[in-house]
Structure 1
Amino acid sequence: MTDYYSPTGGLPPQTDLLTDRAVFTESYAVIPKGTLRDITTSFLPHWRKMRMWVIARPMTGFAETFSHTITEVAPGGGSENPESDPTAQAVLFVVAGHAELTIGDQTHLLFPGSYAYLPAGCAWSFANDHDAPCTFHWIRKAYVAVDGIAPPDPFVTQDADAPVIEMAGTNGAWSTTRFVSPTDMAHDMHVNIVNFQPGGTIPFMETHVMEHGLYVLQGKAVYRLNRDWVEVEAGDYMWLRAFCPQACYAGGPGPFRYLLYKDVNRQMPLTLR
C-alpha cells in the first residue's frame, strides 16, 4: 500500500531555529509541513472531536476558486451536518485511519487511499467509530452549473483502483491517477494524483489558465514556481495562481506523488469575482 503523509501537530522545541521554507508571493505559496502545528488548527460547528488545518481558502491574492483543508477526526468524532454551503461540491481523500462516510442511505468504509466525490447539495455524514484518528483532505469548490448538462453523481473509489494515465513519451516516469475523466463536462474541478518516478520531470515551463493546489503525499522533488526553484517533500503544500510558470524534477530515491486540484471545463468569466 502507498504511504501517504499525514500531519501530527505538536510543537517544535524551544531550541529549534525559526528558519523554514514557508513563502507567500503574488504568484505562488509554499506551506511546508512544519507549519501544521497544534496552534494552527481550526474548528467547525456541527462537528465532534475534529480539528483541521486550512491550507487554502478564497481570499484576495490567494486561492480564488477553492478551499483545501486537512481534517483530523478523533475516535468518536464526526458530523451529521458537515457542509453548511449548499453550493459546495467536495472531494475527500483519506491519508490515515478509518471512518464511515454515509451518502444518502449508503455507507462506505473509508481507509487510506479512499476518494469520495460529493456533489453540491449532497446529503452526507461522517463518523469515526474506530480506535485511531482519521485524517483526510477536504477540497471544496462552488459548483458552476451549465444548461443542458446534469451535475455529477456522488461516488467513492480508491487510489489503487483508479486508472493511471502515462504522459506521452515518458515511459511511465510521469503519470496521472485520474478519478474523473477529463472529457466529462459535468465536472468543473479535477482532483487527481500526479506521479513521478525518480528522475521524472515536467520538462517545460507549464503556464496555463488553471489555478493549482498541490499537496505532496509521498517523496520529494525540486519544483520551479515562477522564477524560483524550491525543494518540497511529503507533507508540503503549494498553491499556484493561474498562469504561474511551473516545472518539476523528481530526484528520488522513491516516487514523488501529489494530490492536485485544478478548476476545469468552464468558460472564462468576464467579471472579476
Structure 2
Amino acid sequence: MNRDPITLLKLGVICWAEWRQENAVASPDLSELNLQGFDLEGGDFSQVNFSKANLAEANLQTANLQAANLSLANLQAANLNRAVLLDANLVGANLKEAVLKQADLRNANLVGTSLRGTHLQEGELANANLVGADLLAANLRRANLSETNLESANLHAALLIEAYLYRVNFHKANLSKTHLNGAYLVRANLSQATLYGTDFRWSNLSQVNLQGADLAQANLRGANLRGANLENANLEGAILPDGTIHP
C-alpha cells in the first residue's frame, strides 16, 4: 500500500473504495491491524486479509466481506448487521456478543469460532461449517442453517426458535436447554447429541436421526416425530408429543 492503511481507513470507506479501484490488489493485507471501534459501514472488504486483526466494536454494518480472511480476528461486540460474509474464513475468530442480524454467512468457515451471546437473528448460514463452534446463548431465531455442519458444537441455552434446520448435522453437539420451539428440523442429524431439557415444542422432527441422543427432561409437546430414529435415545422424564411424560 502506498498509504498507511490505518490513515486510509480513518478517512472513510469512500477513500478506501477509491484506493481499491486505483490499486489492483486482489487481497489487500490488513492482518494484525488494530481497527477497534472503526466506522467501516458499507465498505468493500471482499477478499481482504483481516487475519488476527482487532475489529472489536467496529461498525461493519452492510459491509462486503465476501471471501475475506478473518481467521483469528477479534470481532467482539462488532456490528455486522446485514453484512455479507459469504465464503468468508472465520476460523478461530472471536465473535462474542457481535451483532449479525440478517447477515449472510453462507458457506462460511466458522470452525472453532466463538459466537457466545452473538445476535444472528434471521441470519443466512446455509452450508456453513461450524464444527466445534461455541454458540452458548446465541440468538439464531428464524435463522437459516440448512445443511450446516454443527458437529460437536456448543449450543447450550441458544435460541433457535422457528429456525430452518433442514439436514443440519448436530452429531454430538450440546443443545441442552436450547430453545427450538417451532423449528424445522426435517432430516437433521442429532445422533448422540445432548438434548437435556431442550424445548422442541411444535417443532418438525420428521425423519430426524436421534439415535443415542440424550432427551432426558426434553419438551416434545406437539412435535412431529414421524419417521424419526429414536434407537437407544434416552427419553427419561421427557414430555412426549401428546403431553404425557415418559417414565
Coarse TM-score class (shorter-chain normalised): under 0.3
Larger radius of gyration: 2
Q: Which has the higher contact order (CA 8 A, sep 6+)?
A: 1
**TM-score under structure 2 normalisation?**
0.22
More strand by share: 1
